[in-house]
Structure formats: C-alpha cells, structure tokens
Structure 1
Amino acid sequence: MKHYSLSPQLHSDSDFKLPKYSDTYIFNCMMDFQKLAEYQIKLAQMMRDHNQFQNCLILCDRAMFSMAKAMYVHRNQIIPSYIRSMTDLFPLIHTDAEPNLDMVLFIGTVHYLVSGEDEASEETMRQEEVDKLLYKTDSILESLSQRIVADPSKRYPSIYKENSFN
C-alpha cells in the first residue's frame, strides 16, 4: 500500500500567519472603532432623552466595548477577527503604567447589568442615574481616547463639551 503525503505547500508556516496590514489601515481601523463608540454614546443620549433608559444602558456598554477594541488595535497593531468579551480587554484598561481600577469596575458593572444575569437590571432606572451613567461613560471614552490618539483633533469628542465649530 502506497502512502501519500500532502504537499509541503499546504503545511507551510505562511498559511498560519496573520495578514500584514499597513500602519494606515491599522490606524483607520482604530479610528473606526472610536467613531463607532462616538455614535453609540450619541444614540445613548437620544435614548435617554426619550426615556429609553435600558437602551441607554446597553448603548453605553457597547460604546465602552467599541473604545476598548480601539485600544486593542492600537496596543497590538493588529485587527482582531473576534474579541470574545469585555473581560478580555480589561488588562488594556488597567495597567501598571495606568492604574484605573475604578474605570474597570464601572465598565464591568455596566456590562454585568446589561448581561441581564441579575434581577437588578430589570428594575426601573431613574433619570438622575442615567445622567450619571452617561456622564461617567463619556469621561471614560475621553480618557481612553487620550491614550490611543495623540492628535487632540482626532480624539473622541465629549458629548458634554461644546463643539467649538458650532
């Protein structure tokens, strides 16, 4: 009986390498995640204005997740095909050089409430609580953007600070 082997080309290391992207492509991907976070927080603010507080909570969670993905792209210089969860990104937010345990706890708490594993997430939120949620989320997005974008004109623009162009 003759043994056939597969071609060495099928088993080469080049098949298992990630594609190389240009610095511009990586930067654009990072900025796209940041822009997505900006859209999500603006939509969250609209949901708050229409008393859709649970949707506001969900969108704040998504905005922080999008900004954390931008951090991932910036830090690793790769474009992720899939990021499982926010907890995978916590080490990027809380580092020895930038200790932000309170930020990680806030993001984790919002994520936990959105997951619906707790009966507390079913309770009705008050507008004052949602306002604090939006403000804290906005400040976190600003802070994370400062870590990844050097040019102030390209950073996440706060929804609470007036735009100088209007």
Structure 2
Amino acid sequence: MTEDLHEIRLRVNGVPHTARVPARRLLSDCLRHDLGLTGTHVGCEHGVCGACTVLLDGLPVRSCLIFAVSAARHADITTVEGLAGPDGALHPVQRAFGECHALQCGFCTPGFLTLIASHLEANPDPTEEEAREAVSGNLCRCTGYRNIVAAVLRAAELRREAGEADVSAPNAARGDAL
C-alpha cells in the first residue's frame, strides 16, 4: 500500500518551494531531503536537543516536531542557510559565533544560530543571565556554553554597532504570502 502524497507550498529563506510529501513527513525531513537544505540538523528527533530549530514566521520551532503539511500554513520558514544576507554577508550571530569560538563540532550550531537570531529580535540587548536563559533549551555536548553565551552578547553588540534593527532573520520578518 502506498502513502498518499500532499502537494505543499513553503516559502523557505524567502524562496517559494513546492514539494509532494506524505502527511507524516516532518518539516526537518522535508527541508533536508525534499528541498536539499541540509543546514538544519536532526539530533534527538524528540524536540529535546534543539539542533533542528528553524524560524517559523520569525519564531523558533523544533522542525522535528512539526509536520511539513502543517508548516505550509505559515508565511515563512528561515533555516540557518537563510540567516546570511543576500550578498553572502554573515549575520551578526554567525559572525559572533566565529569571533567567540562558540562552536566545536558544529552539529548543534544551526539550531543555536536560528534560536539566537530570533531571541535578539525580541531582546536586542540581553544581559548575560538573559543570554544564558535564551540558549538553555538547546543542547551542546562540546562547548560548555560559556562561548555560546559570549556569542549572544557579541551578536547583540554587532547589531548595535551596525545600527540595524532587523538583521536577525531577513526572510522571517517579512509577512509575504505564498
């Protein structure tokens, strides 16, 4: 018996996509396997680790907990690939992660980058305690979090230096309809 496929339309990183997926296909799998956007990593597949975090209409969500057909109801999805500017310029969070040595193996990094980008939209000037709280839901087995927290604070500083109010998710903030 074959599974019925559903045609869905998604706007990912500002680009419209169409895919035919089974009803039970997870958004993380759709992004990786159907759209070829492998920056979204799948770790625990239970929504615990945060490696699969993407922005859904600007808000961080665990893409391993959402069906792709459900995500099609939303205006925009931003993955780690969508954080950099159209000219390839790194997002302040990406720059800060490099400057602060906030990654080691890199597996958890895409989830942290998207989560922090969204957090800085809501709180552009976090304290160290607020930065620590913001990243507390994502797991990293390598870094000990000290440099990740430093990167949150550095990204906020880079945003202020650039004087840019909306640099965290260039595609997520737009409410473009599909």
* Higher strand proportion: 2
TM range (shorter): under 0.3
TM-score (norm 1): 0.27
Greater fraction helix:
1
Find the structure with the greater CA-based Rg.
1
TM (norm. structure 2) is 0.26
